[in-house]
């Protein structure tokens, strides 16, 4: 060993014996890479050294740092795996092997080769999480030096980072690595958008600095008054996060950047909740904008309290409140196990959850036929907005979250959907309406004589399935639709206390036919095809007595607000209890409730077959959405006053946005929840009493 070798200061936390081992790996790697250069002209050894220094920033153990220094020697030099085992031990060799690519093996395609690389890396990670920590540090340094690569390589590596490595870093709670990987990938994939947003952020920072400092000082003063020791910092959004929010929610930059972010770090969990109470006393909380990730942590172990407040300047404040231990985990993720472990301390919740997820990779591998399938299955956990399920032959089908077994049937093939009679999910018979979960193995049972059921349209989630169901129903033979309509009508009659459809008298059918102009077989066909609601026809039949020539009085249908998909409140007029209402029968939509003065129903009032007499029940089962417009004078804190007035009246705010008028006035648009019309009247009366409120109006259409 060279006596004069001096390691960088970042390794100084290691013991003397560990430093001696690290020097051996340092010298071995430096000699192995001698004469090799990176694309930017730097000696190749600068790369493994930089990776090791990144890991040293997390205070990882000496075996991990040695593996980082050696991670490319097997792939890029003449060193064999056996040489690593002999010189540095089996543990270091296993870590190196987990990171090493498989370029020397011939695959059918680049996609298959890359999938196999990921499979090998992830399975090694499942056995020892340090493999992925080395790989993430390797990828982070490569991303930092990406400019020297060819354009097509830059695009491929950046896309791969965004699709695989950044989500893995996020899944493991490595927040800083995740954000930097995303931002660098964003820079190279969308350079113009990156620079525009970066320039806008720098310009906006100057205007925000004074406001952020005032809010921070106010928070610190409030917490000090409550005897809470806390570190308060303004929290910046990273550039890709800003871009993603603008893109996904169709917001302008100013709308995203008008939200001020703060992080409050306190000593322990009780102080987290004390801080939350203190901040809610300082600034009014926005209803529905609070999340408790302490009681229910995120899958990657992340814990914090998140709340959004009405700030002193009318802009929302997003505040994260966490303990010091939570902050370490939020910043270092699974690496915090090595960074802060003491002796043989038991695994924390984050380590246990990470371990469970890593072990699940081994189970997934057992069920996967090849590397490509394995990688696609892993994306299930990395991208939770989609559901990945398997056919009986192992093919992966991606569906949107919320998709059901009937969506799966139509995604396989239109004929499979049209002729399905049932399904097995993970080997068990389940209804076609069953929502699918990640990793489900789905088998659809079919019959040549089977046809789509109109009820499927109510739980089909994908546009493809709904379109095929509607198309097939239109082509259903008349006798099949009559038979199905008779069954549905029979169910509705029994539910209303009557008997089966077959027991109805000719007189009842004739009276209905006379008023509707439709023969009873036509009526049954309409029910089967979804053109009429079975329960509506049943009520009309039961309200006519076969021995009387006049209609038997039958009260209106009572609406409680939670009837489900068959009964919906019209989005055109937003009726609430207390409004005079009417029910409109709408093809393939069921019964839609409108206000009497809604323009949508004017053309149907003269047609008794298109409307139903309805009324509000006395006991309601939900709160109702209503939209209001409040015109206010532009004054400091006016939004907070209006929101507080709404909250004091016992109403939650679902949505709020603003539009400036010419002059000194602003329109505030709220969607609020109310019990009934009287509740809304009280709320509007209280708002009118505010001196800043100029006008207030309920919005219907």
**pLDDT, tens only, 641-653:** 898 898 888 888 8
Catalytic residue among 76, 480, 521, 545: 76
* Measured CA distances, 404 to 399, 422, 459, 468, 567 (Å): 9, 12, 7, 15, 21
Tell me the C-alpha distance between 390 and 170, whole Å: 26
Q: What confidence category does residue 300 fall into, taking pLDDT thresholds of 50, 70 and 90? A: low
Q: Class of 385-474 per CATH?
A: alpha beta
- Span 658-681, pLDDT tens digits: 887 767 888 999 989 898 999 999
Greater model confidence, 322 or 342: 322
Over residues 8-52, the pLDDT tens digits come to: 888 888 888 889 899 999 999 999 888 888 888 889 999 999 999
Ranges in the chain annotated CATH 3.30.70.260: 624-699
Residue of 302, 304, 299 whose CA lies nearest to 355: 299
In angstroms, the first-to-last Cα distance of the chain is 82
> Which residue intervals of the chain bear CATH 3.30.460.10?
192-339
User: 426 — alpha (psi -120 to 50), left (phi > 0) or beta?
Assistant: left
Q: Using the predicted structure, report yes or no on whether residue 390 has a pLDDT greater than 60.
A: yes
Is pLDDT of 565 > 70? Answer: no
CATH class in words for 192-339: alpha beta
pLDDT of residue 449: 78
Q: Quick one: CATH architecture of 9-191? A: Orthogonal Bundle (1.10)
> For 222-250, how does the pLDDT look when each residue is reduced to its tens digit (9 = 90+)?
999 999 999 998 876 778 878 887 877 77
pLDDT at 362 over 80: no
* 3-state SS track over 24-89: HHHHHHHHHCCCCECCCCCECCHHHHHHHHHHHCCCCCHHHHHHHHHCCHHHHCCCCHHHHHHHHC
- Structure token pair of residue 239: 């550039």
Q: What does the alpha-carbon distance between residue 285 and residue 317 come to, in Å, rounded to a whole number?
A: 9
pLDDT band (50, 70, 90) for residue 272: very high
Q: What is the pLDDT of residues 401-429, one digit of tens each?
A: 788 999 899 888 888 998 998 899 988 88
Q: Which residues pair with 389 in a beta bridge?
A: 397
Distance from chain centroid for Cα 482 = 43
What is the reported pLDDT for 244? 80
Residue 378's pLDDT is: 56
Mean pLDDT on 284-309: 82
Instruction: Give the residue with greater pLDDT, 490 vs 683.
Output: 683
Question: 269: which 2 tokens?
Answer: 């969990």
For the record, the structure tokens of 457 come out as 């349209």
Query: Residue 362: how many CB atoms within 10 A of its CB?
Result: 12
Average pLDDT, integer, range 557-573:
67
568: β partners: 592
Of 259-263, 307-311, 378-382, 489-493, which gets the smallest average pLDDT?
378-382
User: Which residue has better confidence, 325 or 102?
Assistant: 325
Residue 339: per-residue pLDDT: 40
SS3 290: strand
Quote the CA–CA distance of 600 and 411 in Å, as a whole number.
Answer: 35
Higher pLDDT: 583 or 616? It is 616
Q: Which of 3-17, 96-110, 518-532 shows the lowest per-residue confidence on average (mean pLDDT)? A: 96-110
Is the model's pLDDT at 316 over the cut of 50? yes
Instruction: Give the pLDDT mean for 627-652.
Output: 88
Q: Is the pLDDT of residue 271 over 90?
A: yes
Q: Is 75 a catalytic residue?
A: yes
Indicate if 579 belongs to the active site. no
Give the mean model confidence (pLDDT) for residues 561-582: 75
pLDDT for 57-99, tens place per residue?
Answer: 878 889 989 999 998 888 888 888 888 899 999 889 888 887 7
The pLDDT value recorded for residue 343 is: 41
Across-strand partners of 557?
614
pLDDT, position 530 = 61
Parallel/antiparallel/unpaired status of strands 396-400 and 386-390: antiparallel
Q: Give the torsion sign (CA, 274, 276, 279, 283).
A: negative
Per residue in 118-166, pLDDT (tens digit) is 666 666 666 677 888 888 899 999 999 888 888 888 998 898 888 778 8
Residues of the chain with CATH 1.10.3210.10: 9-191
What own/partner pairs with CB < 8 Å and gap ≥ 24 does 347-356 have?
Answer: 348/301, 349/297, 349/301, 350/173, 350/297, 350/300, 350/301, 350/302, 351/301, 353/297, 353/299, 353/300, 353/301, 354/129, 354/172, 354/173, 354/300, 354/301
Catalytic-role residue among 18, 75, 83, 112: 75
pTM confidence score? 0.48
Every domain of the chain with CATH number 3.10.20.30 lies at: 385-474
Confidence check: pLDDT of 546 > 50: no
State the Cα–Cα distance between residues 408 and 422, nearest whole angstrom: 12
Percent of the chain residues past pLDDT 70, beyond the cut: 75
Q: What is the pLDDT of residue 498?
A: 67
pLDDT at 499 over 80: no
pLDDT, residue 140, reads: 92
CB 334 within 8 A of CB 54: no
Tell whether domain 624-699 is in CATH 3.30.70.260: yes
Q: Average pLDDT over the chain, rounded to whole?
A: 78
Lowest mean pLDDT among 224-228, 445-449, 463-467: 463-467
Confidence of residue 206 (pLDDT cuts 50, 70, 90): low
More confident residue, 204 or 167: 167
Could you give the CA distance from residue 352 to residue 471 in angstroms, rounded to a whole number?
50
């Amino acid at each position: 060993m060279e006596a004069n070798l001096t390691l960088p200061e970042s390794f100084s936390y290691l013991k003397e014996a560990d430093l001696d081992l690290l020097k051996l790996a340092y010298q071995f790697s430096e000699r192995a890479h001698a004469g090799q250069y990176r694309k930017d002209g730097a000696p190749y050894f600068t790369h493994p050294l930089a990776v090791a220094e990144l890991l040293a920033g997390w205070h990882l153990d000496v075996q991990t740092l040695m593996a980082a220094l050696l991670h490319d020697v097997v792939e890029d030099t003449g060193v064999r795996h056996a040489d690593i085992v002999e010189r540095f031990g089996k543990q270091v060799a296993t870590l190196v092997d987990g990171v090493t690519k498989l370029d020397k093996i011939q695959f059918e395609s680049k996609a298959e080769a890359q999938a196999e690389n990921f499979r090998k890396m992830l399975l090694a990670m499942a056995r020892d999480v340090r493999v992925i920590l080395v790989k993430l540090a390797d990828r982070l340094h490569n991303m930092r030096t990406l400019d020297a690569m060819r354009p097509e390589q830059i695009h491929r590596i950046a896309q791969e980072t965004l699709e695989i490595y950044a989500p893995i870093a996020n899944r493991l709670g490595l927040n800083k690595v995740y954000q930097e990987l995303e931002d660098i990938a964003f820079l190279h994939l969308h350079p113009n958008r990156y620079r525009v947003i970066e320039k806008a952020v720098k310009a906006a920072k100057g205007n925000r600095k004074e406001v952020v400092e005032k809010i921070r000082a106010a928070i610190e003063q409030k917490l000090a008054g409550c005897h809470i020791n806390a570190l308060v910092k303004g929290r910046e959004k990273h550039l890709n996060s800003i871009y993603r929010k603008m893109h996904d929610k169709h917001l302008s930059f100013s709308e995203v950047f008008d939200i001020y972010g703060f992080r409050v770090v306190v000593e322990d969990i009780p102080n987290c909740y004390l801080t939350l109470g203190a901040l809610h006393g300082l600034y009014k909380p926005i209803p529905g904008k609070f999340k408790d990730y302490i009681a229910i942590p995120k899958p990657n172990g992340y814990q914090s309290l998140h709340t959004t407040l009405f700030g002193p300047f009318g802009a929302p404040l997003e505040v994260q409140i966490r303990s010091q231990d939570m902050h370490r985990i939020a910043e270092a993720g699974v690496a915090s196990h090595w960074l802060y472990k003491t002796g043989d301390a038991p695994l924390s919740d984050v380590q246990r959850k990470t371990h469970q997820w890593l072990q699940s990779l081994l189970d997934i591998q057992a069920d996967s036929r090849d590397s490509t399938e394995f990688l696609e299955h892993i994306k299930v956990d990395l991208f939770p907005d989609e559901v990945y399920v398997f056919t009986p032959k192992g093919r992966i089908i991606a569906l949107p979250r919320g998709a059901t077994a009937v969506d799966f049937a139509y995604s396989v093939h239109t004929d499979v959907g049209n002729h399905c009679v049932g399904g097995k999910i993970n080997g068990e018979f389940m209804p076609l309406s069953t929502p699918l979960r990640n990793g489900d193995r789905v088998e659809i049972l079919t019959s040549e004589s089977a046809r789509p059921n109109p009820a499927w349209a109510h739980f089909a989630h994908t546009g493809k399935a709904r379109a095929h169901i509607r198309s097939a129903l239109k082509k259903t033979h008349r006798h099949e639709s009559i038979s199905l309509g008779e069954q549905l009508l029979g169910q509705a009659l029994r539910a209303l206390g009557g008997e089966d459809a077959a027991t109805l008298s000719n007189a009842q059918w004739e009276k209905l036919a006379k008023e509707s102009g439709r023969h009873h077989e036509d009526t049954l066909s309409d029910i089967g095809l979804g053109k009429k609601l079975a329960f509506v026809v049943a009520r009309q039949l039961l309200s006519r007595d076969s021995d009387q020539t006049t209609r038997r009085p039958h009260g209106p249908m009572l609406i409680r607000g939670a009837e489900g998909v068959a009964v919906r409140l019209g989005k055109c007029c937003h009726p609430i209890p207390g409004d005079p209402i009417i029910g409109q029968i709408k093809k393939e939509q069921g019964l839609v409730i409108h206000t009497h003065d809604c323009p949508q129903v004017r053309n149907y009032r003269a047609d008794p077959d298109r409307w139903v007499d309805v009324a509000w029940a006395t006991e309601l089962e939900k709160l109702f959405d209503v939209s209001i417009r409040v015109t206010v004078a532009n004054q400091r804190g006016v939004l907070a006053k209006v929101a507080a007035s709404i909250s004091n009246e016992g109403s939650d705010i679902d949505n709020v946005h603003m539009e400036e008028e010419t002059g000194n006035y602003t329109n505030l648009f709220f969607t609020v929840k109310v019990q009934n019309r009287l509740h809304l009247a009280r709320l509007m009366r209280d708002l009118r009493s505010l001196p800043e409120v100029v006008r207030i109006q309920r919005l219907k259409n």
